[in-house]
Structures are given as structure tokens and as C-alpha cells.
């Protein structure tokens, strides 16, 4: 297990370097000159001043040397400073946004797992019924709906029309912090973010449980007179949950993509909102830092998912 984890970790580091190279290259290929993000268009600068600024920022060097310089600083924990917030280091800015994003994604993941497993089990037990058909259609709609569309519809219904939930933010401005106020702001964006994951888990849970219920050991348990409740929960459900472990890990990337839209719509102060603001203002250091941190989170979650799957199912061998 240790050898497997180390090998996956090394592969993950290689993937992070490849990701950083790709993002660095794409940012340089965007229209415009990177130096434009550092200057005030209302303040005239001479060609000599522009050349000095370009030299001080290292933008006069070839692109490979610029990347190697950034990578060397990144390995030492220095991701530079934000262009629009010159007094704030990128690392501190990114770390300050991780907490809200983890809270949002963690809550959405819990909702998705509970709802997806419960609905999937119900649909498998009541297969081909009217309820099964309804949940199947609902799951299909949930998988097909883009995150931004779900966010806008949910915001309009529950905030604008019904006034049940706040329309944005993490806390009520001007009020002291309280857990109840935080939960009140968290419920709607977390529920909307969980829709796609819950729909996927529902489909996989239903299919997996139906397959397990047709196994011989389940028929044997029923033939022995074991109550149907115990047949499902004790004999079938545990084995049916194994594919869900891998599915949850593989949908983290989907959740991160959805979180970017959810945070933008609800003005949730997390990594997604930070990344969107950085793209709009062409804040290159923040884009690189936020992307690198997101990549680290995805790789770590996938590694933990593989290890968890091997622990849950002893039949799985890692080598």
C-alpha cells in the first residue's frame, strides 16, 4: 500500500507540473500583452519605462525561462503577488478562500451521497414502478442540467420569488457571526451544487444494487427466510456501495467546476469566485495559484479514493 501510494503521489506531482505548464502556456496565448495587466491605462508610460517594467517582471525572457522561474518560486512556496492586490501574496489569498469552498463542496457532497444512495436503493427495490420512473427522469434531468442553469433557477425560485433563502454571500452583512446564519446561507448553494452528483450516484446505486440483488448469495439468503430489509441492508447494500466509492472520487472534478458557477451566482467567497475574478481582471499570478491549488485538491482526493476502495474491498490488490 505504501509503495502504491508513493507511486501515485509521484504521478500526481507530474500531473501538477503538466497542468501548470498548460495553464502558463494558455495564459500567454491569450490576446493582449501580459504587461497590460500591470499598468494603468490612464497613466502614460514611455517605451523606456515599459521596457524597464517588463525586465523587472522577467517578461523579457523566453517563455520557457519564465515558466522555470515561476516553477522554482512555486516549489519554495512563493506564488508571487496579486496584480490587483499588490500587498497580498497569492498563496495567502488562495489559502484564505479554501475554507469556504471546502465547506460548500463538503456540504454538497454529504447531501449528494445521502440523497443519491437513498433514492438509488428505493428505485432498485421498487424497480419499474411509477416512483422508479419518476426518479429516473429526475436523475437524467439532474445530470443534463448545467450548474449555472440550476443556480439561476434555484436563485430565482427560492430567493427572488419565495424569499426563503438569502440571494448571496456567506453571512448577513452587519450582523455578528452565528452558525445558524451560516447554515441559512449555505443550504441553497450546497443543495444546488449537489444535484449533478446526487443524480449520478442515484443512477449508479440503482444499477449496482440491481446487479447485486441477482447474485446467488442474495437468493440463498431469501430462501433461508431472511427478512427483505436485512437482505438489502446487510447482504446486498455493502457490495453495491463499492462502485459508489470510486464514483464519488471521480466526480470531485465535476463538483469543482460546478462550484465555480455556484460561487459566482451566489457571491460565495471561495476559490471559484476568486478564480473568476482573477480571469476577469487578468490577474495571472492568482490564476496560476488558484489552478495549482485546485489541481492539488483533485489529485489528493483521487489518491484517497483509490486507497479507500482498496481498504473497503479486500479483494482489490494494489501493486
Same domain, 108 and 68: no
Confidence of residue 314 (pLDDT cuts 50, 70, 90): low
- Domain-located, residue 200: yes
Residue 308: is its pLDDT beyond 60? yes
- The rounded distance, in Å, linking the Cα atoms of 74 and 210 is 49
| 291 pLDDT more than 80 | yes
Q: What is the mean pLDDT of the segment spanning 227-250?
A: 79
Examine the domain organization and report whether 100 and 217 are in the same domain.
Answer: yes
User: Are 250 and 211 within one domain?
Assistant: yes
Q: Say whether both 256 and 297 belong to one domain.
A: yes
In a domain, 185, yes or no: yes
> Are 54 and 112 found together in one domain?
no
Total number of domains in the chain = 2
Q: What is the rounded distance in angstroms from the CA atom of residue 92 to the CA atom of residue 251?
A: 27
Measured in whole angstroms, the distance separating CA 56 from the mean position of its chain's CA atoms is 36
Whole-number pLDDT of residue 10: 85
* pLDDT attached to residue 183: 92
What are the pLDDT digits (tens) for 88-131?
888 888 888 888 998 998 899 899 999 999 999 999 888 888 98
Q: What is the pLDDT of residue 74?
A: 87
pLDDT at 252: 76
**Chain-centre distance of CA 16, in angstroms?**
16
54 strand-pairing partners: none
113 and 59, same domain (yes or no): no
- Domain assignment present for 302: yes
Q: How far apart are CA 240 and CA 284, in angstroms?
A: 45
| CA geometry: angle 108, 111, 112, nearest 5 deg | 85
Determine the average pLDDT of the residues in 166-192: 88
Terminus-to-terminus CA distance in the chain, angstroms?
Answer: 7
- On whether both 65 and 95 belong to a single domain, the answer is no
Question: Do residue 131 and residue 40 come from a single domain?
Answer: no
If asked whether residues 272 and 209 sit together in one domain, one would say yes
Residues 129 and 61 in one domain: no
Please indicate, yes or no, if residue 84 is contained in any of the structural domains: no
What is the structure's pLDDT at 285?
A: 87
* Across 133-137, 162-166, 195-199, 250-254, least confident range: 250-254
pTM of the model: 0.82
The DSSP-derived string for 235-285 is: IIHHHHTHHHHHHHHHTHHHHHHHHHHHHHHHT--SHHHHHHHHHHHT-HH
The answer to whether position 49 is within a domain reads: yes
Mean local confidence (pLDDT), 278-296: 86
Q: Is residue 155 part of a domain?
A: yes
Cell of 25: 502556456
* Interacting residues of 272 by C-beta distance below 8 A, sequence separation 6+: 101, 256, 259, 260, 261, 262, 263, 264
Q: Tell me the per-residue pLDDT of 201-229, one tens digit each, with 9 for 90 and over.
A: 999 999 888 888 888 888 888 788 878 77
183: domain CATH number is 1.10.3720.10
> Which residue range(s) make up the domain with 168?
90-312
Asked whether residue 163 carries a pLDDT value surpassing 90, the answer given is no
Cell numbers of 315, please? 479483494
The confidence band for 318, taking pLDDT boundaries of 50, 70 and 90, is: low
196 and 104 in a common domain: yes
Q: Looking at the structure, do residues 192 and 239 belong to the same domain, yes or no?
A: yes
The per-residue pLDDT for 59 is 77
Average pLDDT of the chain?
A: 84
Of 231-235, 274-278, 279-283, where does mean pLDDT reach its minimum? 231-235
Q: At what angle do helices 90-125 and 271-281 cross, to 10 degrees?
A: 130
Instruction: Using the predicted structure, report yes or no on whether residue 187 has a pLDDT greater than 90.
Output: yes
Average pLDDT, integer, range 44-48: 78
| Any domain includes 83 | no
Amino acid at each position: 500500500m505504501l509503495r502504491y501510494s508513493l507511486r501515485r503521489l509521484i504521478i500526481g506531482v507530474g500531473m501538477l507540473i503538466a497542468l501548470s505548464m498548460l495553464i502558463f502556456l494558455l495564459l500567454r496565448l491569450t490576446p493582449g500583452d501580459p504587461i497590460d495587466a500591470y499598468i494603468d491605462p490612464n497613466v502614460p508610460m514611455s517605451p523606456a519605462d515599459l521596457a524597464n517594467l517588463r525586465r523587472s517582471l522577467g517578461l523579457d525572457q523566453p517563455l520557457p525561462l519564465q515558466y522555470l522561474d515561476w516553477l522554482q518560486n512555486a516549489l519554495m512556496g512563493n506564488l508571487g503577488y496579486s496584480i490587483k492586490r499588490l500587498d497580498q501574496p497569492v498563496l495567502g489569498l488562495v489559502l484564505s478562500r479554501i475554507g469556504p469552498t471546502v465547506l460548500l463542496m463538503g456540504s454538497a457532497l454529504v447531501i449528494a451521497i445521502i440523497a443519491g444512495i437513498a433514492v438509488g436503493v428505493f428505485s432498485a427495490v421498487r424497480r419499474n414502478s411509477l416512483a422508479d420512473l419518476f426518479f429516473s427522469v429526475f436523475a437524467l434531468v439532474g445530470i443534463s442540467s448545467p450548474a449555472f442553469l440550476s443556480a439561476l433557477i434555484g436563485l430565482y425560485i427560492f430567493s427572488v420569488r419565495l424569499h426563503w433563502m438569502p440571494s448571496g454571500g456567506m453571512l448577513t452583512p452587519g450582523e455578528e457571526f452565528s452558525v445558524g446564519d451560516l447554515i441559512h446561507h449555505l443550504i441553497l448553494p450546497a443543495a444546488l451544487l449537489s444535484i449533478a452528483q446526487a443524480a449520478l450516484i442515484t443512477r449508479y446505486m440503482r444499477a449496482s444494487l440491481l446487479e447485486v440483488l441477482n447474485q446467488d448469495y442474495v437468493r440463498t439468503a431469501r430462501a433461508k427466510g431472511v427478512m427483505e430489509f436485512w437482505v438489502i441492508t446487510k447482504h446486498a447494500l455493502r457490495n453495491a456501495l463499492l462502485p459508489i466509492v470510486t464514483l464519488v472520487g471521480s466526480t470531485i472534478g465535476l463538483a469543482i467546476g460546478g462550484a465555480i458557477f455556484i460561487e459566482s451566482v451566489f457571491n460565495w467567497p471561495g476559490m471559484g469566485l476568486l478564480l473568476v475574478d482573477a480571469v476577469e481582471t487578468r490577474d495571472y499570478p492568482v490564476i496560476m495559484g488558484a489552478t495549482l491549488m485546485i489541481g492539488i485538491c483533485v489529485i489528493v482526493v483521487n489518491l484517497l479514493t483509490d486507497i479507500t476502495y482498496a481498504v473497503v474491498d479486500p479483494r482489490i490488490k494494489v501493486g
